[in-house]
Copies of this chain bind each other. A is one copy, B any other.
Amino acid sequence: MYIDIQFVPLPPSPEILSNKTLVVIDVLRATSVIVHALSRGAAEVVPVTTVEEATRLFKTFPPGSTLLGGERGSRKIQGFDFGNSPKEYVAERVKGKRLILTTTNGTKAFRSVAAAEGVLVGSFLNGTATAERSLQLGRDILIFPSGDEGSFSLEDVVCGGMLIDLISKKSHDPIGLTDASWSARFLYQRFEGNLLEALRLSTHGKALDALGLGEDVLYCARTDVTNLVPAFRDGVIRVS
């Protein structure tokens, strides 16, 4: 088994996606929000790339069944039910509901890897469970950090490095690592024990802190608060 990690969120070619388990990561905050909302009982999450697509899709579902969430410029979108802070997604509001989500980086990433056979949703919140599921699936793994507006993002790669470190330690067979996978693993090891330091050092973490959203950064740095491993299939994310 091989693990690669793609440092820049360019859409991979069909050959690269073929016969692989993909793990999409957007620690700040899309995949953390998805994992959190599903853990609070949301029925499913539909990631879409534009605000227009979100509102158009919303109208196709029965009234009361569906909620709108997401951000632009890290802020809640006008008319939406939720922004992109995990803490907004409380059980009383999301239980049993469909959530349509559009964010700057994370929801785009799902579109980029939609052709893969298995796409998991990773974050620190469900890190160990995601590593174990990826390993069980038995295919080569490609970790896909969502990045920050097309650029490399430290927090996503450190989270990818945690998965690589866990999978390498848990596997009975040797795991092949690329130069990028080794690097992500070393970056994780640099911050192991203080992941919050990595998140606060990152460009995106600093921007959220400056906007008064430091509580989100704190929440998204927590590890293994749930065993849920959401999977993305046919455009929809559900607990798998």
Contact = CB atoms under 8 A, between A and B. Distances in A.
Nearest to A152: B180
Interface in A120-157: 148, 151-154, 157
A178 B151 CA distance: 10
Contact of A154 (B8, B153, B183): B183
B186 A190 contact: yes
A70 to B, nearest CB: 23
Interface string A62-98: 0000000000000000000000000000000000000
Contacts of A187: 183, 186-187
Contact of A7 (B148, B152, B189, B203): B152
A104 to B, nearest CB: 15
A182 interface: yes
A52 interface: no
Contact of A202 (B152, B179, B189, B190): B179
Copies in the complex: 2
A183 B183 contact: yes
A203 B187 CA distance: 18
A1 interface: no
A201 interface: yes
Interface string A189-230: 110000000000111000000000000000000000000000
A203 B179 contact: yes
A210 to B, nearest CB: 15
Contacts of A8: 7-8
B157 A183 contact: yes
A178 B203 contact: yes
Interface of A: 7-8, 148, 151-154, 157, 178-180, 182-183, 186-187, 189-190, 201-203
8 contacts: A151-B179, A153-B179, A154-B179, A154-B183, A182-B201, A183-B187, A186-B187, A189-B190
Closest 10 CB pairs between A and B? A154-B179, A152-B180, A7-B7, A186-B190, A179-B203, A8-B8, A152-B179, A179-B202, A153-B179, A183-B187
Given A187-B187, A190-B190, 14 more contacts: A7-B7, A7-B8, A7-B152, A151-B180, A152-B179, A152-B183, A153-B179, A154-B179, A157-B183, A178-B203, A179-B202, A182-B201, A186-B187, A186-B190
